[in-house]
Amino acid sequence: MNGYAGHVLFVDLTTRKTKSEETNWSWAAKYIGGKGLGARYLYDLLKPRVDSLSPENVLIFMTGPLSGTLVPAFAKYATISKSPATGTFLDCYVGGHYMAEMKFAGFDAFVFLGRADKPSYVHVEDGNAEVRSATHLWGKGAFETTNTLKEELEHPQLKVATVGPAGENLVRFACITSELSETSSHQAARGGIGAVMGSKNLKAVTVFGTDREQSYADPDGFREFFQETVKREILENPDEDWARHEGTPIIVAKAQETGLLPTKNFQEGRFDRAENIDSDAMRDRIFVKKANCFRCPISCRNISEVRTGPYKGLTIDGPEYETIAMTGSNCGIGDLNLIVRFNSLCDDLGLDTISAGVVTAFAMECYERGIVSQADLNGFSLNFGDEEAYLEMPALMANRERVGDILAEGVMRASERLGDDSKRFAVHIKGLEFPAYDPRGSIGMALAYATSDRGACHLRAWPVGDEAFGDLDPFTTEGKAKLVIDGQHRNAAKWCLIGCDFYAVDYPTMSRFYSLVTGREMTSTKLATIGERVWNLTRLFNVREGFSRKHDTVPYRITHEPLKEGPPKGRVVEPEDFQKMLDEYYSLRGWSQDGIPTGERLTDLGIQHLAEGTALP
């Protein structure tokens, strides 16, 4: 079928056997690809209540029907599993060129089962796959692993996805690094997806394909629509200027102005050195050039290089706003050179920079409160802004050294082990550390974080763009439930097609591209329904894993400790206000007030049969 390679690769790492199966077309019709189709495969393959780090967990790499085509800004693949950080459904998205290579090699998805008896990697090439030894790569960083495999396999177009020592050591915020080089770095980062890969003794997945032409059901219609869309929605669209010219670092100034820039482990919402790490500083001090993912005209990526000091010459892809905020202001660090170094260490060791920054800031507060000592930290102090100690933290956590062994579990589990009221400043939801938007300055973000299907996540819905950064009142609950739901459905639909977050694409454009590529008719209404269907499916997955309303919460610091400056000065997310939003959210969704999808709603969406054995209201 146009848009699909037509096959899914299954790799049983326990037996080292591989097989190719035809893509499930009935599922593809209902879930498309990416998040939706991956979630459907996971729901079918994974038994309930399986330990996330056991061989029984499933790891999926999934493309979408627009992957590898000319459709602009649809250059990602999804990585899907059960999260070691939260125990929930987990999906992460990786840009670059890897997803196109998967399609060129003849597969819509890779599904990894079981656990290899020794360190291994999987090589995929033109419809074939082989499990090979990776004992010589175990313990190596992502840079060395990537370079070694490229040299050994001698393919100029070879794409490599790998874990670093953090994944091998089952750090619960380990990432998968894809296509790592001095000028390219893409991570499936959140929720410990790299730990799942490491738990399977799977060091890397390499892929190469020679079938590089993708077919279109209506090539002439596609060409015409493509040209007019790129011109109208990207090249001549002022709403895309920020992505094409500055990228996400532009948000530093917005967050500082609105008082929601995470600072010193979310104790404050403004940073006294924000101007040293914002987009102007980045452009003046480290920016080198823009870069793009596969056939993308936006080119949102910033290639940066340290120009002075001990790290002179260090080049990375980034840093993005989330990294700047969580490893910068949130740790009391106001030096871009240090942030670049921290980012590079995380890329090589295989750590999610968002969680790594939050965990480091949490450790800094623990140190200042006397909960963690110098003896726990290999003899160094760890106050906010301590630059040398700050740069020691990635290796300490990735290698699980001393207190790093506790911190590698993430702030939820670390606070449980450290005690002494540290739970009150462990900023997470369901075990996933907060991203870089303080909901005390944007109350809709509290609901978006709490109801996200993978824990605290800013990408499921982004009401801050309409609230603190837009025209809506950021402190009222009115209309926020619908705003969040609309964002969740739209993003779920976009991630079934696997579009980029930096492309503000609407339902009509997505639907038209899908129809022109695949030949299957799609409408805006139908696509929105698919988004809602997928959202209910992942909620059903989480319900099956034991989640309900009591887990859709906001942490103590956000509900009890007011911010001190800016528009949110003196504000918290009032528990009564949050519960009011949550009630409305469940009601609008047609769920019970315990957060369980009802049989009636699932029937409307055509997925009631998936709830067999689950008690539904």
Q: Is the pTM of this model over 0.85?
A: yes
* Predicted pLDDT at 117: 98
**Quick check: 327 and 384 in contact, CB under 8 A?**
no
* Predicted pLDDT at 180: 86
pLDDT at position 614 over 80 = no
pLDDT at position 420 over 80 = yes
The SS3 call for residue 192 is helix
pLDDT in tens, 12-60: 999 999 999 999 999 999 999 999 999 999 999 999 999 999 999 999 9
Q: How confident is the model at residue 296 (pLDDT cuts 50, 70, 90)?
A: confident
Q: CB within 8 A of 515, min separation 6: which ones?
A: 217, 218, 521, 522
* Predicted pLDDT at 589: 98
Whole-number Cα distances in Å, 315 to 121, 185, 285, 341, 485: 27, 11, 12, 9, 39
For the residues 510-538, what does the mean pLDDT come to? 98
135 exposure class (CB count in 10 Å sphere: 0-12, 13-18, 19+): exposed
How far is Cα of residue 152 from the mean position of the Cα atoms in its chain? 30
Rounded to whole angstroms, the Cα distance separating 463 from 607 reads 28
pLDDT at position 176 over 90 = yes
The closest of 360, 303, 364 to 326, measured between CA atoms, is 360
pLDDT at position 322 over 90 = yes
* Predicted pLDDT at 435: 98
606 exposure class (CB count in 10 Å sphere: 0-12, 13-18, 19+): exposed
Rounded to whole angstroms, the Cα distance separating 132 from 122 reads 6
The SS3 call for residue 157 is coil
Which residues share a beta bridge with 78?
Answer: 62, 93
Structure tokens at 313: 């010459």
* Predicted pLDDT at 291: 87
* Predicted pLDDT at 301: 87
* Predicted pLDDT at 426: 98
pLDDT in tens, 475-496: 999 999 999 999 999 999 999 9
Structure tokens at 343: 């980012």
Long-range CB contact pairs, 403-409, < 8 A, 24+? 403/363, 403/372, 403/376, 403/377, 407/359, 407/362, 407/363, 408/166, 408/169, 408/170, 408/171, 408/172, 408/173, 409/172
* Predicted pLDDT at 177: 96
For the residues 265-278, what does the mean pLDDT come to? 98
pLDDT in tens, 109-146: 999 999 999 999 999 999 999 999 999 999 999 999 99
The closest of 70, 4, 69 to 33, measured between CA atoms, is 4
Q: How confident is the model at residue 233 (pLDDT cuts 50, 70, 90)?
A: confident
Rounded to whole angstroms, the Cα distance separating 373 from 368 reads 9
Neighbours of 68 (CB within 10 A): 26
* Predicted pLDDT at 182: 72
Rounded to whole angstroms, the Cα distance separating 295 from 209 reads 17
Helical H runs in 503-598?
507-518, 524-544, 556-560, 575-589
Rounded to whole angstroms, the Cα distance separating 107 from 123 reads 13
**Quick check: 306 and 355 in contact, CB under 8 A?**
no
pLDDT at position 203 over 80 = yes
CA dihedral 105, 110, 113, 117 (to 10 degrees): 40
**Quick check: 248 and 321 in contact, CB under 8 A?**
yes
Inter-helix orientation angle 524-544/507-518, to 10° = 100
Q: Phi first, then psi: give them for residue 122, nearest 5 degrees.
A: -110, 125
Domains belonging to the chain, first-starting first, are 7-208 (3.60.9.10), 240-433 (1.10.569.10), 439-611 (1.10.599.10)
Q: What's the chain's average pLDDT? A: 95
312 exposure class (CB count in 10 Å sphere: 0-12, 13-18, 19+): exposed
Whole-number Cα distances in Å, 470 to 204, 245, 466: 42, 20, 4
* Predicted pLDDT at 242: 81
How far is Cα of residue 373 from the mean position of the Cα atoms in its chain? 32
Rounded to whole angstroms, the Cα distance separating 92 from 39 reads 12
pLDDT in tens, 51-98: 999 999 999 999 999 999 999 899 899 999 999 999 999 999 999 999
Q: CB within 8 A of 8, min separation 6: which ones?
A: 20, 21, 22, 23, 24, 41, 107, 108, 109, 110, 111
Range 393-429 burial, b when 16+ CB lie within 10 A, else e = bbbbbbbbbebbbbbbbbbbbbbeebeeebbebbbbb
Q: How confident is the model at residue 612 (pLDDT cuts 50, 70, 90)?
A: confident
Give 507's Cβ-side CA count (13 Å radius).
Answer: 16
pLDDT at position 617 over 80 = no
**Quick check: 566 and 259 in contact, CB under 8 A?**
yes
Helical H runs in 300-441?
321-327, 336-349, 353-368, 387-398, 404-407, 410-418
The SS3 call for residue 400 is coil
For the residues 398-402, what does the mean pLDDT come to? 97
